[in-house]
């Protein structure tokens, strides 16, 4: 039986690795900044509820836990081990893990195929040992893993994104860690993060096969520099993409990028044009910059999928509507004229001089009902598949500045009144997002927001009790790009249904 076939029959092993009941940290240390301290402190501070066994030949105690001189000395079963010791120690440690019947090893250590010929030979040796002992290796040369549904945060840096449905697999630990930080800051919930490192044993297609059956995962985000077996990668990615959207960024698409990739992972990329063509055929959403990975994750995980490419635009002012309409046209989205009955329904809440068309220019109205009415009436019309809403969210920054100027310039201004204004403004934003989530539940069309000012609230605004929430980007081009990619994925699903 091939190792690949063994893997497909070992879903429960990988499940135990990503949801372990017990962990051994080999190379545990209390020296600030050492890998053994960084990983162990993350696991403990992150609230992992299983057993944690620090391993160091010196013994003693670390963080209040007994330290074992060897894995052999641990009487309890161990599901997963993290190895942070030098590369030359890893073969012997894997033999010990085999004796202990440990199912998985996350090898943080570097010094393998990313270095030289000797490193490549050492990497082959540890794979042979792992296969013999039925151990699944993640890495080596990895930043670690994050499994929020298991309460496990075990990376070299310490972001703790919330539980969610987006899985991140990254061949670059640093880029993957940045994505995890962004996810935490922007409110994007994740199901799993794996820094796959050198992929000596478990490769990207293996992780995809696992995620295909993982109930917590509904969307997959990949950063790859080398896909190894290209046919297997595309076959696996297309299969999962039929049910769970796959969003992919490939590094090493230029000569400079290929050289850089080889220097830190030993990876060698293939022809980019061929790769992108295969991605299009498989319906994979291929992006060009890291920020797109997160913006698409936010949209796909929080909004319903549009059924077409017709867009209604609601804007607090005219200029944003113009540039957004231009962006839509350039991305293959249509901004249709709206019928008189929709114009009349919206017009009841706006001054006579409003635009009377699509984009719907709210002309800076102070009527608190107008934005929600405009969004609702567009969504009710069957000539619209999605709505982009500009500037309704994010006015709070302007209001805060106005309030501060009033406090400084008017000594007689009522403090209670100004506090009330600020409270009502926040309440309006929360209420508007809740209304929009309700509209999405009713009409099954996405609404994508663009904030008027920079905000510390994050991209995703959860709405209690709703499967949808607010998604608010910082600029129109991001909103349009996300919508265009969602439309593209919807077309892929329609195409395969028709095959």
CB burial string 343-366: b at 16+ within 10 A, e below:
bebbbebbeeebbeebbbbbbebe
Least confident of 128-137, 343-352, 416-425, 436-445: 416-425
The answer to whether 472 and 463 have CB atoms below 8 angstroms apart is no
Write out pLDDT tens, residues 106-124. Answer: 999 999 999 999 999 999 9
Identify the three-state secondary structure at position 155: strand
pLDDT for 270 equals 53
Confirm or reject CATH 3.40.50.261 for domain 304-498, answering yes or no: yes
Domain boundaries, the chain: 1-141, 144-302, 304-498
Q: Find residue 194's DSSP bridge partners.
A: 145, 169
Q: Rounded to 5 degrees, what are φ and ψ at 26?
A: -90, 120
The model's pTM is 0.89
2-26 per-position pLDDT tens digit: 444 454 456 888 999 999 999 999 9
- Do 283 and 460 meet the contact criterion of CB atoms below 8 Å apart? no
CA–CA dist 147, 151 (Å, integer): 6
Specify the range with the lowest mean pLDDT, choosing from 113-122, 240-249, 407-416.
407-416
| Predicted local distance difference test score (pLDDT) of residue 264 | 44
Kindly state the percentage of the chain with pLDDT values over 90. 78
Residue whose C-alpha is closest to residue 396's, from 360, 362, 432: 432
Tell me the per-residue pLDDT of 416-455, one tens digit each, with 9 for 90 and over: 998 888 888 788 889 999 999 999 999 999 999 999 887 7
CA distance readout (Å), 391 to 68, 396, 397, 460, 472: 58, 10, 11, 16, 10
pLDDT of residue 10: 66
Least confident among 122-136, 149-163, 281-295: 281-295
Summarize pLDDT for 454-483 with one digit per residue, the tens: 777 889 999 999 999 999 999 999 999 999
Q: Which CATH superfamily is domain 1-141 in?
A: NAD(P)-binding Rossmann-like Domain (3.40.50.720)
The pLDDT value recorded for residue 266 is 43
The number of beta carbons lying within 10 Å of the beta carbon of residue 48 is 19
Residues in the chain: 499
Q: What is the pLDDT of residue 3?
A: 42
For the domain made up of 144-302, give the CATH fold.
Rossmann fold (3.40.50)
- What the block records as the tokens of 487 is 């439309």
pLDDT number for residue 257: 42
Q: Report the distance separating Cα 61 and Cα 133, nearest Å.
A: 30
Residues paired with 471 in a beta bridge: 460
- The residue ranking higher by pLDDT, 194 or 229, is 194
The overall average pLDDT reported for the chain is 91
> 211: Cβ–Cβ under 8 A, 6 or more apart, which residues?
167, 169, 192, 217, 220, 240, 244
39-55 pLDDT tens trace: 999 999 999 999 999 99
Band (399; pLDDT cuts 50, 70, 90): confident
Beta bridge partners of 145: 154, 194
Q: What is the mean pLDDT of residues 233-239?
A: 92
Burial of 394 (0-12, 13-18, 19+ CB in 10 A): buried
The secondary structure of 399-430 as a DSSP string is: HHHHHHHHHHH-TTS-HHHHHHHHHHHHHHHH
């Amino acid at each position: 039986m091939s190792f690949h076939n063994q893997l497909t029959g070992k879903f429960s092993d990988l499940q135990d690795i990503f949801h372990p009941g017990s962990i051994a940290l080999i190379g545990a240390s209390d020296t600030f900044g050492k890998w053994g301290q960084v990983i162990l402190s993350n696991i403990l501070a992150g609230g992992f509820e299983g057993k944690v066994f620090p391993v160091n030949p010196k013994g003693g105690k670390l963080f209040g836990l007994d330290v074992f001189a060897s894995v052999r000395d641990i009487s309890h079963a161990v599901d997963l081990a993290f190895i942070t010791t030098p590369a030359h120690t890893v073969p012997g440690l894997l033999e010990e893990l085999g004796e202990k019947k440990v199912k998985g090893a996350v090898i943080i250590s570097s010094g393998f195929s990313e270095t030289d010929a000797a490193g490549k030979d050492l990497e082959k040796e540890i794979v042979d040992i792992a296969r013999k002992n039925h151990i699944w290796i993640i890495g080596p040369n990895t930043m670690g893993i994050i499994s929020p549904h298991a309460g496990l945060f075990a990376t070299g840096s310490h972001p703790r994104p919330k539980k969610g449905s987006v899985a991140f697999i990254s061949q670059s630990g640093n880029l993957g860690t940045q994505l995890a930080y962004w996810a935490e800051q922007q409110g994007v919930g994740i199901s799993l993060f794996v820094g796959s490192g050198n992929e000596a044993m478990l490769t990207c297609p293996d992780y995809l096969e696992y995620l295909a059956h993982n109930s917590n995962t509904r969307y997959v985000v990949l950063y790859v520099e080398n896909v190894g077996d290209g046919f297997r990668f595309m076959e696996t990615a297309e299969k999962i993409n039929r049910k769970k959207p796959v969003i992919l960024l490939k590094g090493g698409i230029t000569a400079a990028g290929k050289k850089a990739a080889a220097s830190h992972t030993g990876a060698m990329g293939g022809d980019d044009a061929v790769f992108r063509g295969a991605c299009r055929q498989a319906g994979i959403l291929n992006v060009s910059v890291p920020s797109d990975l997160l913006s698409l994750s936010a949209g796909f995980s929080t909004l319903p999928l549009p059924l077409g490419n017709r867009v209604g635009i609601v804007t607090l002012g005219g200029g944003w509507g113009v540039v957004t309409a231009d962006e839509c046209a350039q991305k293959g989205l249509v901004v249709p004229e709206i019928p008189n009955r929709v114009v009349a329904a919206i017009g009841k809440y706006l001054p006579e001089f409003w635009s009377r068309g699509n984009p719907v220019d709210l002309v800076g109205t102070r009527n608190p009902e107008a934005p929600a009415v405009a969004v609702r009436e567009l969504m009710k019309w069957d000539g619209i598949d999605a709505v982009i809403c500009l500037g309704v969210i994010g006015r709070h920054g302007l209001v805060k500045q106005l309030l501060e100027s009033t406090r400084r310039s008017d000594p007689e201004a009522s403090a209670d009144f100004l506090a009330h204004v600020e409270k009502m403004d926040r309440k309006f934003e929360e209420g508007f997002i809740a209304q929009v989530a309700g509209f999405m539940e009713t009409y099954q069309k996405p609404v994508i927001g663009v904030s008027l000012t920079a905000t510390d609230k994050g991209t995703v605004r959860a709405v209690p009790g709703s499967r949808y929430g607010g998604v608010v980007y910082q600029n129109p081009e991001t909103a349009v790009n996300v919508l265009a990619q969602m439309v593209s994925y919807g077309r892929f699903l329609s195409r395969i249904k028709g095959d």
